[in-house]
Amino acid sequence: MRIIATDLPDVFIIEMKVFADDRGSIKELWNAPRYLNQGLGVPSVQTNFSRSRKGVIRGLHYQEPHGQGKLVTVVAGEVFDVAVDIRKGSPTFGRWTGTLLSGDNHHQLWIPPGFAHGFSVLSDQADFLYQCTAPYDPNCEHAIRWNDPAIGIDWKVSDPVIARKDMAAPLLSEAKALPPYYPLPPLIVTTNGSDGGKP
C-alpha cells in the first residue's frame, strides 16, 4: 500500500494494493500489523456500514471524549470525503481537507481522533465503511454545521440532502466540546495529493 499526504499533516490517503485477474479482484481493507507498523492508529474495534443516495451530505461528526479514529472506505459508488481539524490549539485548527473515494480508485482515508468527519455522495448510490478505533458512544456524539462559512467546505453537490440534526449543528466557533491538540507521530509518505482548503 502507499500512504499519500493531504493538506492536513495528520490525515492520510491510503492507496490499497489490488490483485486482479479475469475472475475479478481482491484487496485488503484492513491488515492490523501492516497498518499499525505504518503508524496508522490503533486496532479497529468497530466497523460501520452506511448506504446513501446521490446528494446526501453526512457530517460533520465527531466524538468527544473517547474520540474515534476512522479508516474510511467506499466499497461501491463515489463520495467526496472530508476531515476538519477541530483540536483546540492545533496549528491547523479549522482547516479541512477532502478527497474522492470510490469503489474504483481503491483509496481509503485515515482520520485520527480530534477531527470532524463528513462526506457527500456524488454517485447515484454509495456504500461506505467506517473502521473505528473506539466504540460509538451516544453520550459523546457531537457535530459541527456542515456549511459553517468559517470552514468553507466545497461539498461538490448542488442540491444537498441533509438530516435535520446536522442542519441544526452548531458552528465551530460555538462548539462546546472540542478535543485538545496533541502532536501525532509523523508518517512516511509516498506521494502528495488532496483537494482541501482553509477557512
Q: Establish whether 66 is a catalytic residue.
A: no
Question: Among the options 62, 107, 117, 130, which is catalytic?
Answer: 130
Give backbone dihedrals phi and psi of 86, rounded to 5 degrees, phi first: -120, 20
* Rg of the chain (C-alpha set): 16
Bridge partner residues of 79 (DSSP): 101, 121
Question: Among the options 35, 61, 62, 117, which is catalytic?
Answer: 61
- In the block, cell 458512544 appears at 137
Q: In 3-state terms, the chain is what percent helix, strand and coil (to 5)?
A: 10, 40, 50
Cβ pair 91, 195 in contact under 8 A:
no
Cβ pair 94, 181 in contact under 8 A:
no
Catalytic machinery residues = 61, 130
